Amino acid sequence: MAKNRFFPTLKSNGGMLVTLAVFILLPFIVGLFDGASPAQVWINGSGQSKFIQGLAIEIFILALYALSYDLIFGFTGLLSFGHSMFFAVGAYGTGILLKNFGFSLPATFGVIFLAGILQALLFGMVLPRVKGITFALVTLGMASVFHVLVISSELGPYTGSDVGLQGVVPPEFISPASQRLRLYFVTLAVLILVFMLYKRFVNSPTGRVCTAIRENEGRALMLGYNTFYFKLAALALSSLTAALAGMLHTIYQPIVSPNVAGLGYTVTALLIILIGGVGTLNGALVGAVVFRLLDYGLRRYIGESASFINGAVYVAIVLFLPFGIVGTWRLKSAQVKQGWERLAKLFGSR
Amino acid sequence: METILDVQDIHTFIGQYHILQGVSVRAPKGSITALLGRNGAGKTTTLKSILGLTPPRQGKVVFDGREINGMRSFDIASLGIGFVPEHRAIFRDLSVEENLKIAERQKGDYVRKQEFIFSLFPDLKRLIRLPGTHLSGGQQQMLAIARALVADNQLLLIDEPSEGLAPVLIEQLMEAIKQLSAETSVVLVEQNFLVASKLAEYYVIIEEGRSVKQGNMKDLADDKATIHRYLGAA
């Protein structure tokens, strides 16, 4: 008799399914609190629900971007300081193709897909030669060159130089102005699909070799694995995901700022997975929620000085939850005592 | 007797340091050969040079009739050489089963070999789902050796198998290595002369980066002067 696999699957993915259900219902629940019926929310009326949809879209895009960083850093152990370039290629590429060349969305997606592969190959060229911090610095160099190109006046007609790319008109059927709920569900669906793909990847034999490379590349080599190809596979998947996140960013945002090509945006990805938990995948999702809501909440209620409190909160998370929120949850041990000790060490007391 | 591994006068540099200054090792097929010597003599570097991790600049390494020096490490490993590094080098974030499966060279290697592996190391069967990080030192060492048995290796290079283990575990490990040598040739580095003399049939003594003596282990066991001179044991 065939074994019933439905209930075990349901049990092991219960948390995920509940989260998914919450996000599916979120716009309608917020609408109800705001006095709008589900039908009004469905036809994309304005109000609190539409605002929350926008905030959630930003979180989904950040989560997608952070997932891509978790794959190469958290799972494969490749510390890249040029990850923002992966995102920016998607963001700028989409904007330029839609605005300057009048490409359709599927054609744009095709080009971005190719660009994602190409930039992974570009990073891959240095993989056999440099490791660790040297790899981080070389990737930073590559991303810096891209950043300089983006803000150069020569490319200004396409990239908008240091002002940023403006005036991109996204396709009507997922326009954030008139079809925000649809864009919300599209972004959510992309995030869920990518998350499932990543789960599959890290639990596959290829994913396990990536974990082995992170732990000790020499040992993986001694088992007969040409580790270069595994690192390249992780880079390619990560690059495609980040470019896809960049593409969604351009569709949602009215402007592509050159900041998304800078080192700061790579640090954003690193920060998100540090908050959520490095090498956990779920941590990228949790980290994106905490990161965006904290930033939004503090800016709204405190203003510009929010950055200072934001920084303090991140330091506190690193000190007291060194495995991130998800990592600590799994280990079931917050390091409160050790956190105070680390804090004391920071200020030089014993 | 047929030779599985023939290392001929290799010279290896690490940075500017000339670590191996002429090491030769002949390991007969189907036997255990021990590399002996004091700390820092160059035993581990010899294993790493065979594997291409610290490639020799001079000399030849011949495995099963084929010259392998100059080849890349993963290509050397793919020829059928398994390596068990010192310090119980397992993948701590992977479970026992994942640690074993990752060593498959062909699909189905693990399923085919698991009965043999668990007969050598029964403890591992019980711990199969546990992450590597939860294993004790002895269990990690067993897993490291078991991992090298998953693929069809003709030669196993084992670095310091008894290091830091309790005597009862050393006995268990020695028994397992003896059993597996019936199927696979073994070259091991061992500081503990008592363990090496009980396990190995052949020996090579390495002193300050040079192989100074090799032969039959039974002869060495009777040669107290050589033992005292090169190994510091009486």
Q: What is the pLDDT of residue A310?
A: 83
How many domains does chain A fold into? Answer: 1
pLDDT band with cut points at 50, 70 and 90 for residue A252: very high
User: What's the gap between Cα B130 and its chain centre?
Assistant: 25
The span from the CA of A318 to the CA of A342, in Å, is 10
* pLDDT of A188 over the 50 cut: yes
Percent of chain A with pLDDT over 70: 94
Closest CA to A65 of A228, A208, A277, A260: A260
The span from the CA of B58 to the CA of B46, in Å, is 13
Q: What is the pLDDT of residue A8?
A: 62
Find, in chain B, the residue whose alpha carbon is nearest to that of A280: B93
The encoded tokens of residue A212 equal: 């082995």
CATH number at residue A279: 1.10.3470
* pLDDT of A10 over the 80 cut: no
Give the residues of chain B that fall short of pLDDT 70: 233-234
The span from the CA of A137 to the CA of B180, in Å, is 46
Residues 6+ positions from A133 with CB-CB distance below 8 Å: A79
* pLDDT of A333 over the 80 cut: no
- Is A14 within a domain? no
* pLDDT of A350 over the 80 cut: no
- Is A189 within a domain? yes
**Nearest Cβ partner for A216 among B73, B74, B89:** B89
Query: Alpha helix locations (H) across B88-216?
Result: 96-101, 109-120, 122-126, 137-150, 167-180, 193-199
The span from the CA of A238 to the CA of A120, in Å, is 8
Q: What is the pLDDT of residue B40?
A: 86
pLDDT band with cut points at 50, 70 and 90 for residue A1: very low
Q: What is the pLDDT of residue B149?
A: 84
pLDDT in tens, A136-166: 999 999 999 999 999 999 999 999 998 999 9
Residue with the bigger pLDDT between B137 and A198: it is A198
For chain B, counts of helices (H) and of strands (E):
10, 10
* Contact in structure between B196 and B207 (CB atoms under 8 Å): no
Three-class SS state of B84: strand
- Is A8 within a domain? no
User: What's the gap between Cα B145 and its chain centre?
Assistant: 9
Find, in chain B, the residue whose alpha carbon is nearest to that of A207: B102
Find, in chain A, the residue whose alpha carbon is nearest to that of B48: A222
What CATH topology corresponds to B1-80+154-163+182-234? Answer: Rossmann fold (3.40.50)
The span from the CA of A77 to the CA of A136, in Å, is 11
Place of tokens 């008592």: B194
Interface of A to B at Cβ within 8 Å reads: 205, 208-209, 211-212, 214-216, 218-219, 221-227, 279
Question: Which contiguous run of DSSP H or E holds residue B43?
Answer: helix B43-51
Size of interface A-B (CB pairs under 8 A): 55
B206 sits in the region (left: phi over 0; alpha: psi -120 to 50; else beta) called beta
Closest CA to B197 of B177, B217, B212: B217
Contacts of B78 in chain A (CB under 8 A): 224
Span A276-281, mean pLDDT? 92
Contact B51 A222 (CB under 8 A): yes
- Is A326 within a domain? yes
Q: What is the pLDDT of residue A320?
A: 85
The span from the CA of A113 to the CA of A65, in Å, is 15
Provide the residue ranges of all domains of chain B, joining segments of one domain with +: 1-80+154-163+182-234, 89-152
The DSSP secondary-structure symbol of B95 reads B
Query: Alpha helix locations (H) across chain A?
Result: 6-12, 14-33, 38-42, 48-69, 83-99, 105-126, 132-151, 156-159, 180-202, 205-215, 217-222, 227-252, 263-276, 282-301, 306-320, 324-331, 336-346
pTM: 0.85
Residue with the bigger pLDDT between B171 and A212: it is A212
Q: What is the pLDDT of residue A25?
A: 92
Question: Which of B53, B54, B74, B97 best probes binding to A when mutated, by most A CB atoms within 10 angstroms?
Answer: B74
Rg for chain A (alpha carbons), in Å?
21
The span from the CA of B62 to the CA of B51, in Å, is 11
**Paired residues of B5 in beta bridges:** B27, B63
The span from the CA of A265 to the CA of A268, in Å, is 5
Q: What is the pLDDT of residue A337?
A: 75
Q: What is the pLDDT of residue A118?
A: 95
Rg for chain B (alpha carbons), in Å?
17
Residue with the bigger pLDDT between A329 and A191: it is A191
Q: What is the pLDDT of residue A185?
A: 95
**Nearest Cβ partner for B73 among A208, A222, A279:** A222
What distance in Å separates residue A172's CA from the closest CA in chain B?
Answer: 47
Residue with the bigger pLDDT between B168 and A51: it is A51
**Of the given ranges (A125-129, A340-344, B35-39), which has the lowest mean pLDDT?**
A340-344
**Nearest Cβ partner for B91 among A219, A221, A227:** A219
Question: Which of B50, B102, B109, B147 best probes binding to A when mutated, by most A CB atoms within 10 angstroms?
Answer: B102
**Nearest Cβ partner for B105 among A216, A224, A226:** A224
- Is A254 within a domain? yes
Span A295-322, mean pLDDT? 84
ipTM of the complex: 0.81
* pLDDT of A307 over the 90 cut: no
The span from the CA of B141 to the CA of A203, in Å, is 25
